[in-house]
Amino acid sequence: MRHFSIQTLCFTMLVLLSRDSQGSGFAPPAAPILPALDVRVAAGRAAQEGYCAMTDDWPVHFSLFLALWTAVIAGVFSAFSEFVMRALSRAAPASGVDAMQQINVSVLRTQFVAGILLIPPISIGFAIYGFGAFDGLARISSFGAALVYTTMVFLVTVFGNVPMNNRLAGLDPHARETEAYWSEYGRVWTRLNHIRTLGSLFTAGLYLVTGVALLTE
């Protein structure tokens, strides 16, 4: 009798649950699983597509990064041309020479010099990549940026400004011959620095053009 009552009770509960689900729109618990799986699959596909888009767009981001990098270098060069060298040239020759010698020693330990030296191989490598991966304006501007920076900034620095700095470093600030060279140094070094400033600005502009061209392709 007890066993029969338990079976009857279970059967009654199942009937009630069945009626309740039909009357109130109650759905079996397994039904929502499929929509949840669809949402997860859609989210996974969206994440994968977003990752692929980011991977495909890295040349755009890298072009803009190089544009910013070279623009910062142009700003530093311009600061020297606009007021640093002018201020040093107005000081007493011995004071100006001593200050410039200290600047040349200090700058070698900075990230600025590392940035100047790293851009040529990076820009050349990026131009080689762009020659096969880019089309039209992006290919031309990326190649032009590497060419402009290497010739107008890197080579001018290595064969122009650096030899003048090395010669100045070996002179006595109070010697008479130093005073004569200091006048030539300020004039020629600043002229070369103008070239480096323009070269850095042109490079930044070309990399900006590269990034925009890649976005519109």
pLDDT tens digits, residue range 34-53?
555 555 555 556 445 544 44
In a domain, 113, yes or no: yes
d(CA 127, CA 142): 5
Number of domains within the chain: 1
In a domain, 27, yes or no: no
Are residues 82 and 212 in contact, defined by beta-carbon separation less than 8 angstroms?
no
Give the Cβ contact number of residue 65 at 10 Å: 13
Angle value at C-alpha 128, between 158 and 61, nearest 5 degrees: 90
In a domain, 144, yes or no: yes
Q: Which domain holds residue 167?
A: 57-216
DSSP 215: H
State pLDDT tens for residues 95-138.
999 999 999 999 988 888 998 999 999 999 999 999 999 999 99
Residue 2: is its pLDDT beyond 50? Answer: no
Least confident stretch, 2-6, 189-193, 197-201, 204-208:
2-6
Integer CA distances (angstroms), 86 to 34, 78, 82, 216, in order:
74, 12, 7, 44
pTM (2 d.p.) = 0.73
DSSP assignment of 82-94 = IIIHHHHHHS-HH
In a domain, 4, yes or no: no
Tell me the backbone φ, ψ of residue 6, rounded to 5 degrees: -65, -40
How many percent of the chain have pLDDT more than 70?
Answer: 74
d(CA 85, CA 96): 9
In a domain, 121, yes or no: yes
